[in-house]
Structure 1
């Protein structure tokens, strides 16, 4: 598959440049106007993040920093579809194929194994006589603090976007506006803790929204429920290989 656009992997997520996508789609709308018209339905910090990039300013080699955005593949796919062009269809199919390959179980295990090696965890696993389940659950029980969804997702070799979707499919949570909430039967059980989260929106204004973090009890609940569905942390999949 020929590369249509540069893919950057960060925090176990595939990201693309908004400016590069805008250029690839050959849109005539000014970039800033395109952002203003199309980004309102997406959430900063989840679907995209604000970044700067350096471009050539003139023929003498001068450069300048310009506003850009790092987009998740899910957002890039929707933006491509929203362009209503033939190029948009091509890019959308391209992103769908990238997501399919990224979520292939073999690729998930491979990334998880590479992550463990990079963190020098594999050596500890080989020397340990504990069972995989004990290793993961002991890690949870040893940390009484709160944990973000993105960090838990990383333990499963998934992006936070994919993991949130998985929890929704498992009947654990649903999305209301820009916030993920637990279904009624899981509320008031001490699984999550809501904290205010400050961020800067695309207009440079400070905003505040609530974000949920998982308690120790909640993390154990996720482990047990996902395990019953055959979904295991990367550390256990590696042990089984």
Structure 2
């Protein structure tokens, strides 16, 4: 089994995610899935392994080879056979957090951390060569200051949105499309109720308009946790007979986070 090396930095005093960060002998950072599991609110490996599987699928669908981010490993148990484990890159941790149970407050905290830290890593350039002249040193210092200002500005821009995502994920229950549109607008995705209905239909394919002109939620969107429905009914004003109405489409916190995440990627592009 690969020997684990751990280094703690100054941030580890405030971040439990940095506190469990490991390094390979070659200096590559990674997180042990077994150690990350309780920080994401999971107590059963089988449930957490499902989140990892969804993250691997998302990684593959994005055109990235999961092998480079989800390295197989084994955790030595005090007694009995070694347990399944993974060495997760920062990007893999980010995907696991996005594909975790949105009802867990720990998931929201992990998303906030890995969203910000991943952006910081993306905006940090490799160390430049040592300047050979005083003029070159001045230019290098100016360039480094400019890069630092840009990175800080991007993190400041991302941080409020991550906090909004945190609030969305900890929301109690699912939202009507109208309320979901209001929440997304507050999060920076300017969309009204009608536009959100069209977005859910044409871009995501989570709903469709039935022959009666009413919106229906596709079963696949319910099974994946993006949307839900609430049964509706009313009493006929003349006969008093109970009439069943089409169920009301509802957007789940996980669905809100998916839309917010896609919108953030579009802004970055």
Q: Structure 1 length normalisation: TM-score?
A: 0.36
More helix by share: 2
Structure with max Cα Rg: 2
Greater RCO (Cα-Cα under 8 Å, separation 6 or more): 1
